[in-house]
Chain A
């Protein structure tokens, strides 16, 4: 059986028009505008088997969305090849559309004034589903996502987390074989993020649906996926199991403490102070040396905690570390 997704040397270069400054420049711009080339994706190759859950991570502007747009057939690559479920996306976009689902954070396909069930009925027509099959699948998904009580409420009255759960249901209604998610948890609170991640993973496990999840949130990757592709400046930097990435690059957590005392000192191995101001301390904890719980216990022994957040380092930092490591190893294109 062919892989679910395959890309080989996939590249995309955009010609970006530039504007000249000033009134004369604006007048000249009416007749001709200078353009420059921007390489959004360069020589990206990977293969994803059916049923795999793969994270596609990188900082903003790394080329994740452009790659996904090529894989859904929206953009034609400047060079290279790709196949999704054996189809060339940009040549067979409509045929492919029946077999893939897409979720884009901050974009909505739900009708604002109407309940989600109305949008679902429209999607049944769009995807040519017979009404009985549609109703059965809709009810099953709505139950699994815990949305039964909200199905007939106007979308405008739902919270962002509830809306995003409905967005994912909308993308799964036609039983896609491949689900492409682009920043599905962006803007959500911690609880809503957790719910979305659990549901995507569970649905994929149950339906055997292949998942490609683009995100700049390492939490999405860790909770949903088994494998990770790291992209930076349009190039694929790394292709590894998530467990390996966790051991190597995701050991560190950033712990921000708001304390009653103006200053708190935590003398523990693997703990480094990143920032300090009165009543606020930001620590970087190497969890392979000292657990976050031990750090918190030490702080509680010394002072009263007003607030506490534990985060992964920003994706930009992680990618910089991976890039530096790959460069040191003399394999800037490592993993490709």
Chain B
């Protein structure tokens, strides 16, 4: 048998994503736990928005609830791929997954995408049902939901590659939780997890709307306020750009990390 030249093949990554999706679906309790958490969250905020005057926000409580449902839908759908990468380094598993004719990082990202696919479906059904039930109907601009769905799926991909970049630092920091904590809190605050960015001070909004945090959460969710072709195109463009940036960062950091494992031991 002769040595084969390395070439880019998508089939192993697609197969890994499919298998991870089946594995996630087989261990259904985890997805249901997330759905229950989302339900509690929407229950609390549906009640809150009913009692807080929202007229100044230029929208209504129902639409605000849909906004929150979409940001949480995205956020809760992103698997903790950073912890998987950290665990692989800590236990030495990374060394045993490398002698395969595929990218270790690519396979881990593909598996995370498979897990996310199941979560996206379960949480979308949960969020949609609860918004109709608790919010009393569709958002002010229902067509925005059709825009938010594909943008949300792309945002989950952004979340996966960004967290993979965080996880790739494991050979240096050993515990990636502090770095992830910074990413997570920045996403909460600068991404508009609960309050949409258009309610932020103008100066702050202009700055943060270009960041990956805002693109991750506010980008898809803000479509429910008023579907706007230009805004959608800009969000889609930013999503593609940030996915590319974090993919390159994750790959670069991972490669440097592997050489570090070689120097300092696995």
Contacts and interface: CB of A to CB of B under 8 A. Distances in A.
A64 to B, nearest CB: 14
B100 interface: yes
B23 interface: yes
A160 interface: no
Interface stretch (A44-52, A117-125, A194-202, A278-286): A117-125
A145 B11 CA distance: 28
Contacts of A92: 3
B170 to A, nearest CB: 14
By DSSP majority rule, is chain B's interface helix, strand, loop, or mixed?
helix
A112 B23 contact: yes
B262 interface: yes
A132 interface: no
Nearest to A180: B99
A69 B101 contact: no
Contacts of B266: 69, 74-75
Nearest to A113: B26
Contact of A38 (B27, B97, B99, B265): B265
Contacts of B15: 121-122, 125-126
A118 B19 contact: yes
A13 to B, nearest CB: 9
Nearest to B11: A125
A16 B101 contact: no
A113 B23 contact: yes
A58 interface: no
Contacts of A75: 95, 261-262, 266
B150 interface: no
Interface stretch (A94-102, A216-224, A254-262): A94-102
B181 interface: no
A11 B66 CA distance: 61
A152 to B, nearest CB: 13
A17 interface: yes
A114 B22 contact: yes
B102 A126 contact: yes
A122 B12 contact: yes
A122 B264 contact: no
B101 A122 contact: no
A98 B19 contact: no
Contacts of A118: 19, 22
A295 interface: no
Contact of B95 (A74, A112, A128): A74
Contact of A111 (B5, B6, B19, B96): B19
B96 A102 contact: yes
A1 to B, nearest CB: 13
Interface in A62-78: 69, 72-76
A107 interface: yes
A15 interface: yes
Contacts of A16: 264-265
A98 B265 contact: no
Given A14-B263, A74-B98, A98 B23 contact: no
Contacts of B264: 14-17
Nearest to B26: A113
A128 B16 CA distance: 13
The CB with the most chain A CB atoms within 10 A, among B4, B15, B27, B265, is that of B265
The CB with the most chain A CB atoms within 10 A, among B4, B16, B27, B261, is that of B4
Interface string B1-36: 101111001011011100100110011000000000
B3 A128 contact: no
B93 interface: yes
Given A96-B3, A114-B22, 6 more contacts: A14-B263, A16-B265, A121-B15, A122-B15, A122-B16, A126-B102
11 contacts: A14-B264, A74-B95, A76-B262, A99-B1, A104-B96, A111-B19, A112-B27, A113-B23, A114-B26, A122-B12, A154-B26
Q: In the A-B complex, list the 8 residue pairs whose CB atoms are closest, starting with the nearest.
A: A113-B26, A125-B15, A95-B3, A14-B265, A72-B99, A97-B101, A125-B12, A126-B12
